[in-house]
Amino acid sequence: MIKNMNKNKFQKIFKRATVEQMRVDLHSGHSLKGYFEASYPIKERGLLTSTIETPGKLPALKAPKKDPVSADVENSIALHGYYGDLDETQASDPRLWAYLSHVEFRKYTLARWGLDGHYSDLKDGASKKRAINQLMEHWFVSGNDRDLRRHAIARLWWASHLTYAPWEKDPEFFGDLKNKDPYFYTRILLSTQDIYQQVLERAMGRSSHVLITVLDYLGKNKEFAQSRENVRSLMKELNLVYGTKKIITLNRPALENLISRVASEITD
């Protein structure tokens, strides 16, 4: 067992072959029981030292039993602050996120995205398959956007990365939205699980123009945003437009008008 890596100057990650074997072992059910354990047995030969510098003590991620979603914003900001210098290539690396979910943030991942009960509760093949699918979805990343948005740790970092101070990244488009809180739109995105899933997991979420403008509308129309069906319908309709009218090319006033019109049609 490897001791705490927090004192290392550079982030440890799994080797690619290690991650692939872990996936094989889980898919076969061989390692399923281990996902009920508090620690994960790893060996030095299965690790690499990355080029990612670590600033010091890891943030402590929280997962309140009564309302785990309530800590998403705080966790996202803490994780983004710690790993804020990641570039998008590093932040898409399955080896990094597998290591973080299985080792350094294992306690959080078990609490937020672990399996209920005990291994002995998995009585048949069907229940074991469901458990394996759940673990694959939240503990591993294949490298695509959807996996990154659902991974226990990656989703938190990416939520902040994609919404952090958009007026700094694109002052021409978002300059008038400047706010003293650089995580203003992160808070909206993670305010409910429905907003996160419906907004960020769709293709439109890849466009910062669409993403931030939608979040801006939801932030200004909280009653609308509180309805799961409203948010789902809005994103569904915008997705249809996205495929036909290429809304990512619209300027912000036109985009705002489109979002407002579609939302009005939903509530009429």
Would you list the DSSP string of 89-107?
TGGG-HHHHHHIIIIITHH
- pTM for the whole structure: 0.92
Question: What distance lies between CA 173 and its chain's CA centroid?
Answer: 25
Q: How far apart are CA 193 and CA 184, in angstroms?
A: 17
Contact 37, 119 (CB under 8 A): no
| Both tokens assigned to 77 | 């900001």
Q: Which pLDDT value is given to residue 240? A: 85
The pLDDT score that the predictor gives to residue 84 is 81
pLDDT in tens, 191-229: 998 999 999 877 777 889 999 999 999 999 999 999 999
Asked if 137 and 149 count as a contact pair (C-beta separation under 8 A), the reply is no
Q: Determine whether 59 is exposed, middle or buried from the number of CB atoms within 10 Å of its CB (0-12, 13-18, 19+).
A: middle
Q: Give one word for 12, left, alpha or beta, with left for phi > 0 and alpha for psi -120 to 50.
A: beta
- Contact between 150 and 137 under an 8 Å Cβ cutoff? The reply is yes
> Across 86-238, where does the E strand assignment appear?
none
Low pLDDT (below 70) residues in the chain = 1-8, 143, 244-245
In the block, residue with structure tokens 């509308």: 217
